[in-house]
Amino acid sequence: MSVLLDEEIRSQPDVLAGLIAQEGARVRRIVADLPPFAYALIAARGTSDHAATYAKYAWAALTGHPVALATPALHTLYHTPPRLDEALVVGISQSGQSPDIVAVVEEGKRQGRPTLAITNDGSSPLAAAADHVIELHAGVERSVAATKTYTAQLATIALLAAAWHGQPERWTELERMPDVLSAVLGGVDDLAQQAERYRYMEHCVLIGRGYNYATALELALKLKELTYVMASAYSSADFRHGPIATIADGMPVLLIMPQGAVFSDMLQLAQDLQMQGAELLVASDVAEAQALATTVLPLPPAVPEWLSPIAAIVPGQVLAMNLARAKGVDPDRPRGLQKVTRTV
């Protein structure tokens, strides 16, 4: 069994509690200090980019702020950075090392815009480049595949959303999430056995929508990194606009569908896919959805939808780790990857 990755997955309730305790007040101060802005521009890669995708929903839905994802090549390779008038410029990076992400934040500062770094390393180049820094306090992440820093990034984005939103209830909901994660981790023991079924799976599809589109993207990346499965992630709407043609008999499709505003759209798609012969894996707290599944990734009930991605990724992390084990891959050391990736 992978020791490091397993430890890091299981540390997530504590990491989350520590983050909220240590950074909560700072987040409120940053939000109070920021000048007005029309939209947020976020630069991020890999797992951090999936946290940015969560921000597209959480920040817009709770606070009305639209989010644009940056195109770092414009800064580093084309040398034609866009005009950033009216933007809050945000960089998200576990290591804070990737030059392309740092370049976007530096450009924001050069243009006189407010800048914010979200990173696990407060002494990194990214932290040095930004006006404001929120640290993840996740401890050193020793396994190559990011787990605890991903949920910590999501929680940081949720802290900012709650502070902008202003209602104490949102903050209270977030403070319950460490307990929710403990509950999730208490319900995943069957996944070690269930992963066996997918020993020879070579490709699969992951689908989420709204807040949990980020979960589909992140779980696809975990499967690629840890098991080398060709995993493709889609929103349910994008999936209907073309990729649905790839569904064949027995094709494994994992749907992230906790209770919430997008549930009925996801349920309709799940039913359609079952009719087409797909094998469904379902991450949900809803019995009607679980009943369609060959494999259930259980989620706890009554989690507010806006926070559900923090919980919904965790059974997927556990499934990916166990599938790596079933396939004979060392999940702590995926081939071809280092912990810190520097791209320009």
Within 90-149, which residues bind a copy of itself (CB under 8 A)? 98, 100, 145
Torsion angles phi and psi, residue 122, rounded to 5: -70, -10
In terms of CB distance, is 67 or 181 closer to a copy of itself? 67
In terms of CB distance, is 184 or 269 closer to a copy of itself? 269
The rounded distance, in Å, linking the Cα atoms of 170 and 158 is: 9
Annotate each residue in 157-186 with x if it binds a copy of itself (CB under 8 A) or - if it does not, as one string. ------------------------------
CA-wise closest residue to 56 among 196, 173, 211: 211
Q: How far is the CB of 18 from a copy of itself (least distance, A)?
A: 26
The verdict on 235 binding a copy of itself (CB under 8 A) reads yes
On whether the CB atoms of residues 77 and 93 are closer than 8 A, the answer is no
In terms of CB distance, is 150 or 171 closer to a copy of itself? 150
Q: What DSSP string describes 275-321?
A: HTTPEEEEEES-HHHHTT-SEEEE--TT--GGGHHHHHHHHHHHHHH
Annotate each residue in 295-314 with x if it binds a copy of itself (CB under 8 A) or - if it does not, as one string. --------------------
In the set 4, 17, 34, 68, which binds a copy of itself (CB under 8 A)? 68
Q: How many residues bind a copy of itself (CB under 8 A)?
A: 71
Ranges within 253-272 binding a copy of itself (CB under 8 A): 261-262, 265
In the set 31, 134, 184, 221, which binds a copy of itself (CB under 8 A)? 221
CA-wise closest residue to 46 among 145, 154, 152: 145
Binding span for a copy of itself by CB under 8 A among 49-57, 124-132, 177-185, 296-304: 49-57
CB atoms within 10 A of CB 302: 9
Contacts of residue 94, Cβ cutoff 8 Å, sequence gap at least 6: 47, 48, 119, 120, 121, 136, 141, 146, 149, 153
- Cα–Cα distances in Å, from 155 out to 132, 147, 194, 213? 17, 13, 29, 16
The rounded distance, in Å, linking the Cα atoms of 275 and 341 is: 42
Binding span for a copy of itself by CB under 8 A among 6-14, 70-78, 120-128, 174-182: 70-78
Q: How far is the CB of 9 from a copy of itself (least distance, A)?
A: 17
Annotate each residue in 185-204 with x if it binds a copy of itself (CB under 8 A) or - if it does not, as one string. -----------------xx-
Is the backbone of residue 286 left (phi > 0), alpha (psi -120 to 50) or beta? beta
Q: How far is the CB of 59 from a copy of itself (least distance, A)?
A: 8
Torsion angles phi and psi, residue 125, rounded to 5: -60, -35
In the set 51, 52, 57, 296, which binds a copy of itself (CB under 8 A)? 57
On whether the CB atoms of residues 170 and 161 are closer than 8 A, the answer is yes
In the set 3, 21, 291, 337, which binds a copy of itself (CB under 8 A)? 337
The verdict on 230 binding a copy of itself (CB under 8 A) reads yes
CA-wise closest residue to 214 among 262, 165, 276: 262
